[in-house]
Amino acid sequence: MKLTTRQIDQLYLFTRQHYVEYYDLQTELVDHLANAIETEWQQNPKLTFDEVLNKEFNKFGVFGFMDVVESRQAALGKKYNRIVWEHFKDFFGIPKIVLTLAAALLLFIILKASTYQEWTIIGLYLALFGFTIYEMIKSQRQRINKKKLQQKRWLFEDIINQYGAFSGAILLPFNVLLQIYNRIDSYVTNDYFLLAISLVLVLLSVILFIIFKLIPSKTQTYLKQTYPEFKLENL
């Protein structure tokens, strides 16, 4: 016995009622449940749809679909990290590594010549921090608006957008570097730390650019690679 279109729709509703928000996870679970129900009906054709559905759902244990969601989220989180790393590695190949080092050297020269080194460094740091906060807020608003419009949500798309929230953490080590810099009196050593600060600022800028601009601009491409059904949905 095959499930009807109405029963398939019921399965999608069932997954949503059990806190599975993402369409890709809903589809995976619906496929699993549909196959399990049809197999069960071959052995016990007298059971109703609801009876078989509840029986299959109970197999997921006390936490229901939660373990499936967390497992898939962890897997896609690792995939996202690999994508970030691949883009970041691009900046360590010629000619980008030359441009990156040139930018760091230029910043060092500017800071070296400045009579307001500390204020310039703090200003650049605050600019990066402000950019991070702005992009995080913008990303959050986009997710809220999409949810209000009841558009299909894809887990990997949310991971791409929300991982920026953790990027603020990469700015924290810079505070330590500044504290060390403020406590060094040696002129020569200050030059080394000034160069280190310049390099860190440039690398932070590269990372934030990758997280907030480069990867989101390629979201459609990554989604099509991850979900064949996404391509069909957007033909």
pLDDT at 180: 55
Read off the pTM: 0.67
pLDDT at 217: 83
pLDDT at 166: 56
pLDDT at 172: 58
HSE, side-chain direction, 13 A CA sphere, residue 103: 15
Q: What percent of the chain has pLDDT over 70?
A: 82
Average pLDDT along the chain: 79
pLDDT at 189: 47
- Nearby residues of 188 by Cβ (< 8 Å), 6 or more positions away: none
Low-confidence ranges of the chain (pLDDT < 70): 1, 62, 91, 149-151, 162-189, 229-235
pLDDT at 105: 94
- Is the Cβ–Cβ distance between 202 and 104 less than 8 Å? yes
pLDDT at 187: 42
Phi and psi dihedrals of 103, rounded to 5?
Answer: -65, -40
CA torsion 132-138-139-141 (nearest 10°) is 150
pLDDT at 182: 59
pLDDT at 233: 59
pLDDT at 208: 84
pLDDT at 185: 46
